[in-house]
């Protein structure tokens, strides 16, 4: 099948359409965060779907909400093909932003080596690089007859500083005209983004994969994991009992900073006690590791989103009921224009807390591994491959000169020569600008 080729204008229009669509979807996703169940969905997908960023996680669940319950892998076409699976003909793509790092270079002035200064007069007398090349050939030829060492030194200086490609003499000519060399030096890296289509496992067919759907705890597993985490907790855990159904306490659990211990109110439901224990452990770890902030609403939101993330990964579905209120309180207090920054800050801090909690309370890691070992190992393998591909892509990426103006916006993306089927471009959108 012959590949279609498009003009630069067509390519730009295509990606502009996708950019506007994605920016609109992101805004819609942020507004959806003000609903309790959407907070849980976001945390489930972010925690369980191939390490996508908050931005991309919002885009994923905005376009395919059912992924929060199914827990399917979401991958681009080429990754599915590597796994021996192919995209269904009627599959609807999920659009995300793919990181596309570029090395930034700047040009620095450097003095000409003495060997090159000796031939500068040739460049000044020449009217073009071609004329200079002829004069230089003649100069080197004469030197070879008179002083081979000098001739070899000149050739070596040119090769060392300019290489041996076709542009070498042209670059040398202009540098000699200026009287100095311009060395290209890497200054750092800038992250660009480009739209990419990804697909859920249910939109593919082919080689069978391991069952990577979310596991759900049942029956005595809640008690088993609660007691395992309680008994091995680095923070002392005390349980208190209430008489009958008259619980006069205003809390189900608390962490006492002065005494350094956690108190859990006994209830008939181990799923509730498990959720409370994870929540209070997150408080304790943030306090012990000096991660806390003065903003109490923010702290509660971080701890709550941490517990939702861990309980989701553990498969403790029943322990997730009525969770997310602290997150909503924090998000609803934000101005609409600040919601994306607040959300990113919240989920960045959540990631830090989850990592620290898993490090300090190994029993949580053990519980997650026991429930979901197959998925963990499979995703670890995919992540390892992804890091290798990212490093390779970075190494092969086109060089970018250091820009003089502000950073690139999402719409200013690297455009490809060949464009996918134009009919797959979403076209219902509003003009919205969002910085990644």
State the pTM of this model: 0.61
- pLDDT confidence of residue 374: 64
Rounded average pLDDT over 194-207: 91
- Give the residue from 30, 14, 18 showing the smallest Cα distance to 62: 30
- The answer on pLDDT for 235 being more than 90 is yes
**Pair 424, 93: CB distance under 8 Å:** yes
Whether residues 284 and 161 fall in one domain: no
Residue 434, domain member (yes or no): no
Whether residues 231 and 324 fall in one domain: yes
Residue 431, domain member (yes or no): no
CA distances from 421 to 10, 42, 283, 425 (A): 12, 30, 50, 8
Range of the domain at 116: 112-179
212-225 per-position pLDDT tens digit = 666 788 878 999 99
Whether residues 80 and 209 fall in one domain: yes
Higher pLDDT, 142 or 229: 229
Tally the domains of the chain.
3
Residue 207, domain member (yes or no): yes
Question: What tokens does 188 get?
Answer: 């750092």
Residue 275, domain member (yes or no): yes
Whether residues 282 and 294 fall in one domain: yes
The winner for highest mean pLDDT among 16-30, 108-122, 277-291 is 277-291
Rounded average pLDDT over 246-264: 79
- The answer on pLDDT for 317 being more than 90 is no
Whether residues 225 and 116 fall in one domain: no
Whether residues 294 and 319 fall in one domain: yes
Residue 15, domain member (yes or no): yes
Whether residues 402 and 264 fall in one domain: no
Residue 43, domain member (yes or no): yes
Q: Apex CA 344: angle with CA 73 and CA 381, to 5°?
A: 30
Whether residues 222 and 347 fall in one domain: yes
Residue 432, domain member (yes or no): no
276-305 per-position pLDDT tens digit = 999 999 999 999 998 988 989 999 999 998
Residue 430, domain member (yes or no): no
Whether residues 268 and 284 fall in one domain: yes
Whether residues 256 and 199 fall in one domain: no
Sequence-distant (≥ 6) Cβ neighbours of residue 27 within 8 angstroms: 432, 434
Whether residues 239 and 331 fall in one domain: yes
Pairing type for strands 94-110 and 400-401 reads: parallel
47-58 per-position pLDDT tens digit = 555 567 767 888
Whether residues 65 and 134 fall in one domain: no
The winner for highest mean pLDDT among 126-135, 158-167, 394-403, 412-421 is 126-135
């Amino acid at each position: 099948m012959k590949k279609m080729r498009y003009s630069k204008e067509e390519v730009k229009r295509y990606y502009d359409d996708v950019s506007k669509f994605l920016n609109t979807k992101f805004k819609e996703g942020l507004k959806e965060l003000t609903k309790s169940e959407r907070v849980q969905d976001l945390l489930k997908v972010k925690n369980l779907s191939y390490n996508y960023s908050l931005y991309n996680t919002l885009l994923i669940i905005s376009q395919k909400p059912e992924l929060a319950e199914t827990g399917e892998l979401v991958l681009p076409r080429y990754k599915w093909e590597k796994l021996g699976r192919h995209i269904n003909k009627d599959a609807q793509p999920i659009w995300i932003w793919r990181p596309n790092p570029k090395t930034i270079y700047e040009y620095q002035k450097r003095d000409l080596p003495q060997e090159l200064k000796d031939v500068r007069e040739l460049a000044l007398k020449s009217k073009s690089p071609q004329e200079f090349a002829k004069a230089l050939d003649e100069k080197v030829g004469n030197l070879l007859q008179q002083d081979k060492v000098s001739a070899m030194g000149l050739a070596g200086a040119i090769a060392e500083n300019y290489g041996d490609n076709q542009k070498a003499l042209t670059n040398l000519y202009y540098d000699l005209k200026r009287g100095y060399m311009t060395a290209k030096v890497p200054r750092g890296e800038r992250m660009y983004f480009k739209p990419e289509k990804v697909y859920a496992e249910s939109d593919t067919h082919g080689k069978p994969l391991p069952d990577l759907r979310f596991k759900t705890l049942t029956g005595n597993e809640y008690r088993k994991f609660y007691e395992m985490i309680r008994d091995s907790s680095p923070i002392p855990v005390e349980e208190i009992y209430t008489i009958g159904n008259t619980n006069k306490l205003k809390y189900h659990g608390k962490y006492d900073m002065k005494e350094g211990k956690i108190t859990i109110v006994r209830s008939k439901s181990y799923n509730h006690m498990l959720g409370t224990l994870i929540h209070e452990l997150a408080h304790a770890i943030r306090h012990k590791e000096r991660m806390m902030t003065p903003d109490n609403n923010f702290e509660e939101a971080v701890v709550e989103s941490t517990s939702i993330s861990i309980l989701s990964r553990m498969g403790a579905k029943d322990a997730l009921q009525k969770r997310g209120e602290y997150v909503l309180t924090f998000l609803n207090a934000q101005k609409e224009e600040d919601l994306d920054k607040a959300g990113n800050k919240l989920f960045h801090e959540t990631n830090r807390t989850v990592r620290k909690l898993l490090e300090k309370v190994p029993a949580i890691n053990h519980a997650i591994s026991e429930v979901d070992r197959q998925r963990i190992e499979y995703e670890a393998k995919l992540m390892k491959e992804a890091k290798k591909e990212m490093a390779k892509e970075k190494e092969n990426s086109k060089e970018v000169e250091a820009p003089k103006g502000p950073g690139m916006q999402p719409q200013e993306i690297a455009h490809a020569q060949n464009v996918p089927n134009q009919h797959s471009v979403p076209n219902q959108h509003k003009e919205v600008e969002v910085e990644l």
